[in-house]
Amino acid sequence: DTSITIGATNDCTPITIGGASAQPVIMAGPCAVENREQLITTAQAVKRAGAQVLRGGAFKPRTSPYQFQGLGVEGLHLLAEARTLTGLPVITEVMEPGMVETVAQYADILQIGARNVQNFPLLSAVGRHSKQLPVLLKRGLASTIDEWLLAAEYIIASGNPNVILCERGIRSYDPQTRNVLDLSCVPLIHQLTHLPIIVDPSHSTGRRELVPIMSRASIAAEAQGLIIEVHPDPDTALCDGKQSITPDQLEKIVRETALLAHMM
* Contact residues for Mn ion, defined by CB under 5 A: 31, 240
The residue count for the chain: 264
- What residue 24 binds from ligand PEP, Mn ion, none (CB within 5 to 8 A, per partner kind)? none
Our CB check for ligand PEP shows the closer of 49 and 226 to be 226
Residues 6+ apart with CB under 8 A from 209: none
Our CB check for ligand PEP shows the closer of 180 and 260 to be 180
Instruction: Provide the minimum distance between the beta carbon of 53 and ligand PEP in the complex, in angstroms, as a whole number.
Output: 13
- Closest by CA to 202, choosing from 250, 163, 155, is 250
- Closest by CA to 55, choosing from 140, 166, 194, 183, is 166
- What residue 225 binds from Mn ion, ligand PEP, none (CB within 5 to 8 A, per partner kind)? none
Our CB check for ligand PEP shows the closer of 73 and 260 to be 73
Our CB check for Mn ion shows the closer of 32 and 100 to be 32
Residues lying near ligand PEP in the complex (CB under 6 A): 31, 57, 61, 93, 113-114, 138, 168, 200, 203
- Does residue 11 sit in helix, strand or coil? coil
- What residue 138 binds from Mn ion, ligand PEP, none (CB within 5 to 8 A, per partner kind)? ligand PEP
- What residue 114 binds from Mn ion, ligand PEP, none (CB within 5 to 8 A, per partner kind)? ligand PEP
Our CB check for ligand PEP shows the closer of 64 and 191 to be 64
- What residue 61 binds from ligand PEP, Mn ion, none (CB within 5 to 8 A, per partner kind)? ligand PEP
Instruction: Provide the minimum distance between the beta carbon of 220 and Mn ion in the complex, in angstroms, as a whole number.
Output: 24
Say how far apart CA 141 and CA 137 lie, in whole Å: 12
Cβ-based burial of 181 (10 A; exposed 0-12, middle 13-18, buried ≥19):
buried
Phi, psi (deg, nearest 5) at residue 116: -110, 15
Minimal CB distance to ligand PEP: which residue?
113
- Closest by CA to 227, choosing from 129, 137, 99, is 137
Phi, psi (deg, nearest 5) at residue 236: -105, 5
